[in-house]
Amino acid sequence: MRPQLLAVTSSLLRSTTARLYPSSPLAPLSGLILGHQSLAVKAQPQYQAQQQVLYTSQTAANMSATPINANSVLDLIKNRRTYYPLSKDLPISKERISEIVKEAVLHVPSSFNAQSNRVIVLLGADHEKLWDIATDILKAIVPAEAFQATADKMGMFKGAAGTVLFFEDEKTVQKQQSDYPMYADKFPGWATQSDAMLQFVVWTALEAEGAIGANLQHYNPLINERVAAEWNVPSDWKLNAQLVFGGKTGEAGPKSQIPVEERVKVFGA
Ligand SMILES: Cc1cc2nc3c(=O)[nH]c(=O)nc-3n(C[C@H](O)[C@H](O)[C@H](O)COP(=O)(O)O)c2cc1C
Once rounded to an integer, what is the mean pLDDT over residues 156-175? 98
pTM for the whole thing? 0.81
Give the count of domains, the chain.
Answer: 2
Q: What is the CATH number of the domain that holds 164?
A: 3.40.109.10
Measured from the Cα of 81, ligand 1's closest atom is: 26
Residue 265 resides in a domain:
no
Protein residue with least CA distance to atom 20, ligand 1: 82
Residue 94 resides in a domain:
yes
Do residue 73 and residue 102 come from a single domain?
A: no
Distance from the first to the final alpha carbon of the chain: 39
The verdict on the CB of residue 218 being under 6 Å from ligand 1 is: yes
pLDDT bucket at 269, cuts 50 / 70 / 90: confident
**79 Cβ contact partners less than 8 Å away, ≥ 6 residues apart:** 1, 2, 5, 204, 207, 208
The verdict on the CB of residue 78 being under 6 Å from ligand 1 is: no
Do residue 158 and residue 75 come from a single domain?
A: no
Of the candidates 246, 234, 247, 248, the one whose C-alpha atom is nearest the C-alpha of residue 120 is 234
Do residue 3 and residue 34 come from a single domain?
A: yes
Measured from the Cα of 200, ligand 1's closest atom is: 31
Calculate the alpha carbon distances from 112 to 44, 81, 116, 126 in Å: 9, 30, 10, 34
Residue 147 resides in a domain:
yes
Distance 218 CA to ligand 1 centre (A): 10
Of the candidates 157, 136, 170, the one whose C-alpha atom is nearest the C-alpha of residue 84 is 157
* Mutation to probe ligand 1, out of 192, 193, 216 (largest number of atoms < 8 A from CB): 216
Q: What does residue 249 show for φ and ψ, rounded to 5 degrees? A: -115, 0
Do residue 109 and residue 37 come from a single domain?
A: no
Q: What are 78-100's pLDDT values in tens digits?
A: 999 999 999 999 999 999 999 99
Q: What are 119-143's pLDDT values in tens digits?
A: 999 999 999 999 999 999 999 999 9
Distance 110 CA to ligand 1 centre (A): 22
Q: Which residues pair with 242 in a beta bridge?
A: 165, 217
Once rounded to an integer, what is the mean pLDDT over residues 49-67? 55
**215 Cβ contact partners less than 8 Å away, ≥ 6 residues apart:** 82, 83, 84, 86, 243, 244
3-state helix, strand, coil in the chain (%, to 5): 50, 15, 35
pLDDT score of 70 more than 90: yes
Residue 128 resides in a domain:
yes
Do residue 92 and residue 224 come from a single domain?
A: yes
Once rounded to an integer, what is the mean pLDDT over residues 106-123? 98
Alpha-carbon torsion 119, 200, 46, 235, what sign?
negative
Lowest mean pLDDT among 17-21, 114-118, 150-154: 17-21
pLDDT bucket at 65, cuts 50 / 70 / 90: low
Do residue 98 and residue 53 come from a single domain?
A: no
The verdict on the CB of residue 151 being under 6 Å from ligand 1 is: no
pLDDT at 53: 62
Residues 63, 34 contacting (CB under 8 angstroms): yes
Domain of residue 246 covers: 81-251
Lowest mean pLDDT among 27-31, 183-187, 200-204: 27-31
Lowest mean pLDDT among 30-39, 148-157, 243-252: 30-39
Distance 166 CA to ligand 1 centre (A): 15
Of the candidates 91, 112, 88, 110, the one whose C-alpha atom is nearest the C-alpha of residue 100 is 91
Do residue 176 and residue 223 come from a single domain?
A: yes
Of the candidates 79, 240, 111, the one whose C-alpha atom is nearest the C-alpha of residue 175 is 111
Residues 244, 86 contacting (CB under 8 angstroms): yes
Protein residue with least CA distance to atom 13, ligand 1: 216
Distance 157 CA to ligand 1 centre (A): 15
Single residue among 44, 79, 114 that ends a domain in this structure: 79
pLDDT score of 23 more than 70: no
263/173 Cα distance (integer angstroms): 32
pLDDT at 154: 98
Do residue 105 and residue 61 come from a single domain?
A: no
- Output the average pLDDT for the chain: 83
Mutual angle of helices 94-107 and 187-208, in 10-degree steps: 140
